[in-house]
Amino acid sequence: MQLAPPLGIFGGTFDPIHNGHIYPVLEGAKKANIKKVALMPCYIPSHKNPATASSEDRLKMVELVCAEHPLFYPDSRDINRGKPTFSVDSLTELREAMPTTPLCFFIGTDSLQNLFTWHDWPRLFSLCHFVVCDRNGGSVKNLKDHSDGSSKLLAEGSSKLKTLLNKRQIFNPMELHKSLAGHIYVANTQTLTVSSSKVRQQLAKNQSVESFLPATILEYIQQHKLYQPSADFC
């Protein structure tokens, strides 16, 4: 079977989308020679508190980022579905629509470490590869055994992840181009210590967020009076 070029997928609440979302994925896609990445905002996240901005505003901000970076394009399927959704649902739709395209799901190191809590997580490996962008200083290379017994839960999670990496991890990103799904590639990307909650909190306090956001996103937030002090920040 002749495979099409791989497609990247990056989902999230994007409340708001910020540089910590954008630049690690740009770098990871370049390392993996992925030419297109779908930005997929959640309707209502199944694993977090409800978003502060509306689905429409969050999608519009994603569209603004896509207009600035040709690598990205907006995918509104989760929002259009109009109900809580899981990653496996959207990946199943994409796989059915693109049967010969390797799908590369971008996540951070923190998400990789929590992967076993995701809905129907084993099936994800029949649908996509994972491209892991280093985030907030976390590193897959520095996973610890926690053999001192200080945290049995951490020890079990670390051991399970190491087993998964031993089975799935690749070191040549071109392997992502040669099969439809099943691999984990850890991209050595820059670390940007910013979060959407931090951006919202600083906006609520009228503090500067210019270093965290593209200028077009900050302008949109200001024009539409998003994340004002009266908003409910969870």
Alpha helices, DSSP H only, in 127-205?
152-168, 196-204
Which contiguous run of DSSP H or E holds residue 146? Answer: none
Helix axes 55-68, 215-223, angle to 10 degrees: 150
CB atoms within 10 A of CB 97: 9
- Please enumerate in sequence order all residues whose Cβ is within 8 A of that of 151, keeping only pairs 6 or more positions apart, or say none: none
Residue 20 contacts residue 189 (beta carbons within 8 Å): no
CB atoms within 10 A of CB 38: 21
Q: What share of the chain is helix, strand, coil (3-state, %, to 5)?
A: 40, 15, 45
The amino acid that residue 62 corresponds to is: V
Each of the 234 residues of the chain gets a pLDDT tens digit; together they read 899 999 999 999 999 999 999 999 999 999 999 999 999 999 876 556 677 899 999 999 999 999 999 999 999 999 999 888 899 999 999 999 999 999 999 999 989 999 999 999 999 999 999 999 975 445 565 554 433 333 444 455 688 999 999 999 999 999 999 999 999 999 989 877 889 999 999 999 999 999 999 999 999 999 999 998 754 443
pTM for the whole thing? 0.88
Phi, psi dihedrals of residue 141, rounded to the nearest 5°: -65, -25
Which contiguous run of DSSP H or E holds residue 132? Answer: strand 129-133
- Please enumerate in sequence order all residues whose Cβ is within 8 A of that of 167, keeping only pairs 6 or more positions apart, or say none: none
Q: What is the pLDDT of residue 153?
A: 40
CB atoms within 10 A of CB 210: 8
Q: What is the pLDDT of residue 156?
A: 54
Give the distance from CA 5 to its chain's centroid: 20
Residue 44 contacts residue 50 (beta carbons within 8 Å): yes
> Tell me, what DSSP letter sits at residue 30?
H
> Tell me, what DSSP letter sits at residue 74?
E
Q: Which domains does the chain have, with CATH numbers?
A: 7-193 (3.40.50.620)
Residue 62 contacts residue 26 (beta carbons within 8 Å): no
Q: What is the pLDDT of residue 147?
A: 35
Question: What's the start-to-end Cα distance of the chain, in Å?
Answer: 48
